[in-house]
Amino acid sequence: MADILAAPQQIKADTSLRTLAGISAAHWVSHFHIFVLPMLFPYLKAQLGVGYIELGFALTVFGLVSGLTQAPIGYLADHIGARKVLLIGLCVGGLALILLGMNLTYTSLIACAAVLGLANSVYHPCDYAILSAHMDESRMGRAFSIHTFAGFLGGAVAPAIMAALVAWLGGLGALMVAGAVGPAVALLLIVVGIPDASSADRKEDGVAAPKQGVITPAIIMLTIFFMLLGLSNAGINNFGVVALMTGYGVTFSNANIALTAFLGASAAGVLAGGYLADRTTRHGQVAAACFGINAIIILVIATINLPSVVLTSAMGIAGFLGGVIAPSRDMLVRNAAPAGAAGRAFGIVSTGFNFSGIISPLLYGWIMDQRMPHWVFGASVAFMLLTVLLALVTDRKPQGQGKALAVSS
């Protein structure tokens, strides 16, 4: 009899595990695809005969489309089902890279960036809808943490994977193989039977949350905070390799190793930051302390030609501290969200990342075209210091105690 009673619980646990694994795989793809084009900037610049500002414009198009379509995609996921929208996004994003590899022109690059931006807008609405509907409530925080870690990991391994693909297949082959990952993961989700989710599943205790005004001063400040976070990381993420190569004489291989250390340590930092965020209420101070140390480390990288081992170590420490910030960042939003308005609050503040995705490629592309690669890191330091100040100010604001879900970019 005990075995019979335990069977449904075991089935539910197995389904939850498959769901978490599948959705985490999709989040891995989303971050991996974000880094495909930046990792190929040296190749694309040579093949297309354009400057870095033109390449940066492609990333601006990506950020603009992703920012404008995220809310409509969330509405669509609620009405036709998050599973369908997620599968379509995986396939469409992959197809865009495959077609770019088959027909590489600057026009097709911009079109690819736009389609990738559209595909990127599906992941957070769909992923979090499915996880929220089908994961055990007592393990929801850990599920979100693993999901976030998978995304960071996708970005962390992108430089090494793309470098290996370029060496093996060339730039065009690398684009097509990177694109094929999307449909492959979509097929995996179908095989493992990822469940669906719609607006009917997005209720607390079976009751829809009441509508409240959510655009408060605290939420506006946090939107700016998210934008500064994005601006401070974008230069290193997207232009760090070319800046190290042109300004510091670092080889392509060593520059990619350093960036991989930065991104990989960020993924580890997310998991560590989750434990830290659970043990403190001063989340703004945690973010300020980590980014303050980061600013010092990146300033050293900007001003001193470091040996490869030291450079990689410094980038790894900076990445780890940047990852630690993520859970505290989300807790700041959680505490500022009015009761029952967590979804809208996170939707609003996340547009800060979209704004940074629009601005940063043009800014850092202009810096590179002015032959000032050291300022890729210098500008990052400036944005980090502004982030430190805003984190301290935000942490001193009166905060609501609404129940919310913490999500990350």
The residue that leads in pLDDT, 362 or 295, is: 295
Tens-place pLDDT, residues 139-150? 665 677 788 889
197/213 same-domain check: no
Instruction: Select from 275, 366, 326, 23 the least CA-distant residue to 152.
Output: 326
If DSSP codes are grouped into helix, strand and coil, which group holds residue 207? strand
Instruction: Select from 95, 121, 120 the least CA-distant residue to 108.
Output: 95
**Which residue range(s) make up the domain with 131?**
1-202
How confident is residue 408, by pLDDT bands cut at 50, 70 and 90? very low
Return the pLDDT at 6. Answer: 46
Return the pLDDT at 12. Answer: 56
Q: Which of 12-16, 274-278, 341-345, 400-404 has the lowest mean pLDDT?
A: 400-404
Q: How many CA atoms lie within 13 A of 360 on its CB side?
A: 29
Residue 204, beta-bridge partner list: 207
Tens-place pLDDT, residues 169-217? 998 999 999 999 999 999 999 998 888 766 554 444 444 545 556 678 8
Overall average pLDDT of the 3-28 stretch:
71
Residue type, 86: L
171/319 same-domain check: no
- Residues contacting residue 296 through CB under 8 Å, at least 6 positions apart: none
Q: Which of 311-320, 347-356, 360-369 has the lowest mean pLDDT?
A: 347-356
pLDDT reading at 280 higher than 90: no
Last residue of a domain, one of 145, 167, 202: 202
Return the pLDDT at 317. Answer: 94
121/265 same-domain check: no
Q: What is residue 397's DSSP assignment?
A: S
5/86 same-domain check: yes
356/237 same-domain check: yes
* Cα-Cα end-to-end distance for the chain: 45
Q: What is residue 305's DSSP assignment?
A: -
What phi, psi does 377 have (nearest 5°)? Answer: -80, -35
How many domains are contained in the chain? Answer: 2
Return the pLDDT at 337. Answer: 63
